[in-house]
Amino acid sequence: MATGRTHRPATRSRGIPEATVARLPLYLRALTALSERSVPTVSSEELAAAAGVNSAKLRKDFSYLGSYGTRGVGYDVEYLVYQISRELGLTQDWPVVIVGIGNLGAALANYGGFASRGFRVAALIDADPAMAGKPVAGIPVQHTDELEKIIDDNGVSIGVIATPAGAAQQVCDRLVAAGVTSILNFAPTVLSVPDGVDVRKVDLSIELQILAFHEQRKAGEEAASEADAVPLAAKEAGKGPDGDVPAVMPA
Ligand SMILES: NC(=O)c1ccc[n+]([C@@H]2O[C@H](COP(=O)([O-])OP(=O)(O)OC[C@H]3O[C@@H](n4cnc5c(N)ncnc54)[C@H](O)[C@@H]3O)[C@@H](O)[C@H]2O)c1
């Protein structure tokens, strides 16, 4: 679902292109589903289809991991899960803080999928003093006054911003100054960060707008093909587009 760009060159220093990195979570999700079904091996075609990726691209991506599979057998599912998890840094636990515990922040805090993927919600932070101490998803919300101490105490390097847009840059600056080097931003604003800090932006309304664009185009194509089809059908029936006037006079 992440739609933003990281502030990184297209190729990482270890030689894995950013586009490959962006596909690794897709492979991991598909492989995890296979692993849960105790499937031992998978072909590149099957895995590519499950991940929604072209199989030649998948083979190229896996070559960066040094994983080539076995001809006629495919890839070892468990080993590939381990390899990709290791490459993504998911074999270690990542403490994450969420800042802005409103509708969205609370929903994120309640989402069980983070923990199973190696992300532990270490703290919830909000500027509203009335929220301080109130538990959300079993974690007491802490006031923004504590932000720097929380980051430091928990060794947090990943921050999630779910505040209103107007507060996001200031929250981002504080997170970065406190030592956070990766930010997942849900606020609808572009954040400025220094070199070495990665920002990814999630914006569902942008995704919906892109879908709206495609819907509009599909509707346009349908209307055009219907317009094309009418004279043809009418011709077959010996009638015009209005149904009663012949469009083409019979020879
Ligand atoms: N990316 C997406 O797809 C998506 C979807 C929904 C909402 N949003 C965005 O997420 C943000 C939150 O939405 P919401 O519906 O949860 O809003 P909300 O008003 O319910 O919650 C915002 C919370 O942020 C807190 N806050 C305000 N300023 C703060 C600061 N300086 N430091 C810490 N906390 C602060 C408020 O006290 C409040 O609890 C908005 O920017 C919204 O536009 C994004």
**Pick from 54, 87, 120: which residue ends a domain?**
87
Q: Pick from 87, 116, 131: which residue ends a domain?
A: 87
Residue 131: which residues within 8 A CB-CB, separation 6 or more? Answer: 101, 141, 143
Nearest to 187 by CA among 209, 208, 170: 170
Both 111 and 185 in a single domain? Answer: yes
Look up the domain containing 138 and give its range.
Answer: 94-202
Question: Cβ(142) to ligand 1 under 6 A?
Answer: no
Q: Is the CB of 100 under 6 A from ligand 1?
A: yes
Nearest CA to ligand 1 atom 15: 103
* 119 and 29 in a common domain: no
CATH of the domain at 59: 1.10.10.10
Please tell me the pTM assigned to this model: 0.78
In a domain, 37, yes or no: yes
Report d(CA 224, CA 244) in Å as an integer.
22
Q: Is residue 139 part of a domain?
A: yes
What is the tally of structural domains in the chain? Answer: 3
Ligand 1 atom 7: residue of nearest CA: 104
| Rg, the chain, Cα only | 25
Q: Is the dihedral of CA 216, 218, 219, 220 positive or negative?
A: positive
Whether the pLDDT of residue 138 is over 50: the answer is yes
80-115 residue pLDDT tens: 999 999 999 888 889 999 999 999 999 999 998 888
Q: Which one is predicted more confidently, 224 or 121? A: 121
Burial (CB < 10 A; 0-12, 13-18, 19+), residue 178, is middle
Torsion of the alpha carbons at 99, 101, 102 and 108, rounded to the nearest 10? 90
**117 and 193 part of one domain:** yes
Q: How far is the CA of 182 from the centre of ligand 1 (A)?
A: 19
Q: Is the CB of 182 under 6 A from ligand 1?
A: no
**pLDDT averaged over every residue in the chain:** 87
Among 184, 202, 220, which residue terminates a domain? Answer: 202
d(CA 73, CA 17) in angstroms, rounded, equals: 27
Does 7 fall in a domain? no
* Cα of 25 from ligand 1 centre, angstroms: 26
Nearest Cα to 189, choosing from 176, 202, 174, 198?
A: 202
Q: Are residues 22 and 65 in the same domain?
A: yes
Q: Is residue 80 part of a domain?
A: yes
